């Protein structure tokens, strides 16, 4: 901090200046008030430290002269004197002094008052800057927010709404429903579907819609399974200051506050604690809530969208989900079919994901071969769209070719084989059967043999001795074949 120090006593002035410089302040020294006032008009000094009793202009007169200047707010004047009577103190404060000290100056008191002035001036300057530039900063912030919101809407529309789930009549129906629910914010929406079907994507369609120019407000997401039960209420509703031990004295707003004017997305809503289900129902019905420890009822304008991958009707029968909440949420109901129920989408989705990862990983893939497409369509995809996307990412990471082939999908083949290994008991002897998917377009015998060996090896959890025995070949021959397979795969990766 820049400090202007005024004292006609050279020894006292130099001692104070030395101490302040040790505290990392910049100090300008003057031996009279007239000189100090002239310097003050030419530079910015947040703190002026001045003796009161000096020849010519006194410290009190200096304080009055500074106070009369238009920009006096940028300086706090602290006076010190060797005459510590009440009359002198009152005169100093009336002259506009921030504070005063007694000589000899106590180092600790001087350090404290310098810190106080520094904080006071920082607040004054920040407040003045905000006041003078409020309109400009508000316009800038508003413009930046609008640009970011537009960018996010375009991103959602281009990469999520426009591409995922528009390859079948069933998903077109889902998208149309979500768009229709977008137009009425008063309706709660319940989205049901298996893990990986795209419930979050549909929730974003409900929130953003397709009109990029409309104001959708914030989208706030809560994963109900990820929040401890004892923190759920404060996370959702917020709390008033001092409402419980360890809480902030200023309180804290909850997710409902953050989502005001927009959408609150409750993912995995079936995991919500029973007592919170009743409070959520009250919010849905009355559009009001209380913060934890609060007495004031708060009005809210929030669209509630919930998602779950479990059977809520079964949860109701078990008593873990409220029946009245279920029927209240089900006013806007969207059911997303699993990927195995819309197999016509598998190849188009795979091609979209293949192109996405080909670009990001700078590979050469252009298309999916017929045989690979048949293999993809035969798999049941328990992880749905998310699993399909992960499979394409893995294939692009491992290989680099112009066309995706069945040999690039060995993980899918392995999964098919693992689910097809059936244990049968006959005469107390267990038999294992390995069944592989058979693409309509055919496979080379070498590729199919490789797939069989890999599937049997996986079925035996990597046990090469058991695999060799199952395939009726020597362990040495199996090791040779595995080495040949590794070399072929390595060669394809390098290409």
For the segment 204-208, the average pLDDT, to the nearest whole number, is: 90
In a domain, 141, yes or no: no
Examine the pLDDT at 54 and tell me if it is beyond 90. no
Same domain, 122 and 218: no
Same domain, 88 and 196: no
Q: What is the sign, positive or negative, of the torsion defined by CA atoms of 468, 472, 475, 478?
A: negative
In a domain, 170, yes or no: yes
Residue 253 neighbours by CB distance under 10 Å: 13
What confidence category does residue 29 fall into, taking pLDDT thresholds of 50, 70 and 90?
very high
Q: How many CA atoms lie within 13 A of 173 on its CB side?
A: 9
pLDDT digits (tens, 9 = 90+) for 163-181: 455 788 899 999 899 999 9
For the segment 443-460, the average pLDDT, to the nearest whole number, is: 78
Same domain, 330 and 368: no
The range of the structural domain enclosing residue 261 comes to 149-337
Stretch among 87-96, 265-274, 433-442 having the lowest mean pLDDT: 433-442
The CATH number given to whatever domain includes residue 158 is: 3.40.50.300
Same domain, 166 and 278: yes
Same domain, 248 and 392: no
Same domain, 405 and 444: yes
Higher pLDDT, 313 or 139: 313
Give the rounded percent of residues in the chain with a pLDDT score beyond 90. 37
Same domain, 13 and 49: yes
Examine the pLDDT at 19 and tell me if it is beyond 60. yes
Same domain, 294 and 386: no
Same domain, 359 and 308: no
Among candidate residues 132, 158, 193, the one where a domain is terminated? 132
| pLDDT at position 160 | 42
In a domain, 375, yes or no: yes
Give the rounded percent of residues in the chain with a pLDDT score beyond 70. 83
In a domain, 140, yes or no: no
Q: What is the number of structural domains in the chain?
A: 3
Give the closest residue to 374 by CA, choosing from 343, 418, 399.
343
pLDDT, mean over the chain: 82
90-125 exposure pattern, b = at least 16 Cβ within 10 A, e = fewer: ebbeebbbbbbbebebeeeebeebbeebbeebeeee
Among candidate residues 105, 132, 159, the one where a domain is terminated? 132
What confidence category does residue 95 fall into, taking pLDDT thresholds of 50, 70 and 90?
confident
Residue 291 neighbours by CB distance under 10 Å: 24
| pLDDT at position 454 | 82
Among candidate residues 81, 105, 132, the one where a domain is terminated? 132
In a domain, 65, yes or no: yes
Examine the pLDDT at 489 and tell me if it is beyond 70. yes
What confidence category does residue 189 fall into, taking pLDDT thresholds of 50, 70 and 90?
very high
Higher pLDDT, 410 or 353: 353
| pLDDT at position 143 | 66
pLDDT digits (tens, 9 = 90+) for 337-377: 999 999 999 999 999 999 999 999 999 999 999 988 988 98
Quote the tokens at residue 276.
């919170």
Examine the pLDDT at 427 and tell me if it is beyond 70. no
In a domain, 13, yes or no: yes
What confidence category does residue 448 fall into, taking pLDDT thresholds of 50, 70 and 90?
confident
For the segment 23-46, the average pLDDT, to the nearest whole number, is: 91
Same domain, 127 and 190: no
pLDDT digits (tens, 9 = 90+) for 411-426: 776 666 555 443 333 3
Same domain, 319 and 209: yes
In a domain, 59, yes or no: yes
pLDDT digits (tens, 9 = 90+) for 255-305: 999 999 999 999 999 999 988 999 999 999 999 998 888 888 899 999 999
């Amino acid at each position: 901090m820049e400090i202007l120090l005024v004292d006609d006593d050279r020894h006292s002035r130099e001692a104070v200046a030395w101490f302040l410089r040790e505290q990392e302040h910049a100090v300008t020294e003057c031996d009279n008030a007239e000189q100090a006032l002239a310097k003050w008009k030419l530079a910015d000094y947040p703190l002026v430290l001045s003796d009161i009793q000096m020849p010519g202009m006194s410290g009190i007169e200096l304080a009055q002269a500074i106070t009369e200047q238009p920009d006096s707010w940028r300086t706090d004047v602290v006076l010190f004197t060797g005459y510590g009577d009440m009359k002198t103190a009152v005169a100093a404060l009336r002259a506009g002094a921030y504070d005063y000290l007694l000589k000899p100056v106590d180092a600790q008191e001087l350090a404290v008052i310098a810190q106080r002035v520094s904080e006071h001036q920082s607040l004054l300057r920040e407040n003045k800057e905000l006041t003078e530039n409020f309109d400009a900063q508000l316009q800038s912030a508003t413009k930046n927010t609008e640009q970011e919101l537009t960018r996010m809407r375009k991103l959602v529309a281009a990469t999520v709404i426009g591409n995922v789930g528009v390859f079948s009549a069933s998903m077109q129906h889902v998208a149309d429903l979500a768009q229709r629910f977008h137009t009425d914010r008063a309706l709660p929406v319940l989205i049901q579907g298996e893990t990986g079907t795209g419930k979050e994507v549909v929730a974003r369609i409900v929130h953003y819609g397709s009109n990029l120019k409309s104001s959708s407000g914030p989208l706030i997401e809560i994963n109900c399974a990820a929040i401890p039960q004892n923190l759920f209420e404060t996370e959702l509703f917020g709390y008033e200051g001092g409402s419980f031990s360890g809480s902030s004295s200023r309180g804290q707003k909850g997710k409902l506050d953050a989502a005001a004017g927009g959408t609150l997305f409750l993912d995995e809503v079936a995991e919500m604690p029973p007592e919170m289900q009743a409070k959520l129902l009250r919010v849905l019905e009355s559009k009001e809530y209380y913060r934890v420890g609060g007495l004031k009822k708060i009005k809210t304008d929030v669209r509630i969208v919930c998602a779950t991958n479990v059977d809520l009707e079964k949860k109701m029968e078990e008593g873990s989900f409220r029946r009245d909440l279920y029927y209240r949420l089900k006013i806007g109901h969207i059911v997303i079919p699993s990927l195995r129920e819309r197999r016509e989408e598998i190849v188009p989705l795979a091609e979209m994901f293949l192109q996405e990862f080909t670009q990001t990983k700078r590979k050469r893939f252009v298309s999916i071969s017929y045989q690979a497409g048949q293999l993809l369509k035969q798999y049941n995809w328990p992880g749905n769209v998310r699993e399909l996307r992960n499979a394409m990412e893995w294939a692009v990471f491992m290989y680099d070719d112009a066309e995706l082939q069945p040999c690039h999908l060995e993980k899918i083949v392995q999964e098919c084989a693992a689910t097809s290994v059936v244990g049968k008991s006959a005469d107390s002897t267990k038999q294992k059967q390995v069944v592989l998917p058979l693409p309509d377009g055919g496979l080379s015998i070498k590729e199919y043999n490789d797939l069989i060996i890999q599937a049997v090896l996986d079925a035996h959890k990597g046990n090469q001795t058991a695999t060799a025995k199952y395939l009726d070949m020597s362990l040495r021959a199996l090791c040779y074949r595995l080495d040949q397979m590794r070399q072929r795969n390595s060669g394809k990766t390098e290409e």
